[in-house]
């Protein structure tokens, strides 16, 4: 179920359609072809996240950001800006309130989706937390948020908690301190090896308890480093199984 609503504001139809294809599996999408159209759509139905190109005719991305920041109803809407590196450094970098990321053009679609999905997953997790029936406890399914998605979201949010995952008869526990995975247990396996096994799980249930903690430290890497090594191992397994190299991703040029 796509619970996070994203508004894409991009005047180039080719770029806009490419972004839609990349993000469609991960969120509910709405599009606007300029800043004025986006402003009306936000007033009518506020999204959870806005992805806006900076250079657009009429109302550009920064002006859209400033107008929405001046309205109490849309003051906290998170933004991701698409712009040239020069525009990011000279015009957009000072905008820090509610700006989740600045993605420079040209970009590879795969990298864009990866960076944007981190924000979408964190917003999904925050929605689950607000809807939780037990204070301080979030429950969900791995079909909605995968193990890597959960770990990245907890790291981005600098959360301290216990992540419990169940698949059939197996149960795993991961403990986080300020977003760092400090301890992992899957059966008799602990630490890094438990995380590497756990990322294979694609089905099951998860529970996050923000009141739980542990003094145990069994992992040897940061959360990001654990996931990078897990992805490397998965890639090796996929190459061994398929015997073919990965495809080169498409690039989106600056417009």
- H/E segment holding residue 51: strand 49-53
Instruction: State pLDDT tens for residues 169-216.
Output: 999 999 999 999 999 999 999 999 999 999 999 999 999 999 999 999
Q: 């759509």: which residue's tokens?
A: 41
Instruction: State pLDDT tens for residues 27-59.
Output: 999 999 999 999 999 989 999 999 999 889 888
- H/E segment holding residue 126: helix 109-130
Reported pTM: 0.74
Q: Assign residue 70 a region (left: φ > 0; alpha: ψ between -120 and 50; beta: otherwise).
A: alpha
Query: In this predicted structure, what is the pLDDT of residue 251?
Result: 57
DSSP 134: B
Which structural domains are found in the chain, ordered by start?
A: 5-124 (3.40.50.2300), 136-241 (no CATH)
Average pLDDT, the chain: 89
pLDDT exceeds 70 at position 247: no
Contact 192, 221 (CB under 8 A): yes
Q: 């948020």: which residue's tokens?
A: 145
């Amino acid at each position: 179920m796509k619970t996070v609503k994203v508004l894409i504001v991009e005047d180039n139809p080719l770029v806009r359609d490419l972004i839609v294809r990349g993000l469609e599996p991960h969120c509910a999408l709405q599009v606007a072809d300029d800043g004025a159209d986006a402003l009306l759509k936000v007033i009518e139905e506020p999204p959870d996240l806005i992805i806006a190109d900076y250079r657009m005719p009429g109302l550009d991305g920064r002006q859209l950001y400033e107008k929405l920041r001046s309205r109490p109803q849309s003051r906290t809407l998170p933004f991701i800006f698409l712009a040239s590196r020069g525009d990011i450094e000279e015009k957009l970098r000072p905008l820090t309130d509610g700006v989740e990321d600045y993605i420079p053009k040209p970009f590879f679609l795969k990298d864009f989706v990866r960076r944007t999905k981190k924000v979408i997953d964190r917003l999904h997790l925050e929605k689950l937390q607000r809807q939780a029936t037990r204070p301080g406890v979030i429950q969900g399914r791995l079909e909605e948020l995968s193990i890597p998605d959960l770990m990245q979201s907890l790291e981005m949010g600098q959360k301290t908690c216990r992540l419990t995952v169940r698949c059939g008869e197996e149960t795993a526990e991961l403990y986080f301190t300020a977003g760092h995975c400090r301890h992992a247990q899957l059966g008799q396996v602990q630490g890094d090896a438990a995380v590497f096994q756990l990322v294979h799980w694609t089905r099951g249930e998860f529970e996050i308890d923000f009141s739980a903690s542990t003094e145990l430290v069994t992992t040897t890497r940061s959360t990001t480093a654990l996931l990078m090594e897990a992805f490397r191992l998965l890639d090796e397994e996929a190459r061994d199984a398929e015997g073919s190299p990965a495809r080169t991703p498409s690039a989106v040029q600056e417009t």
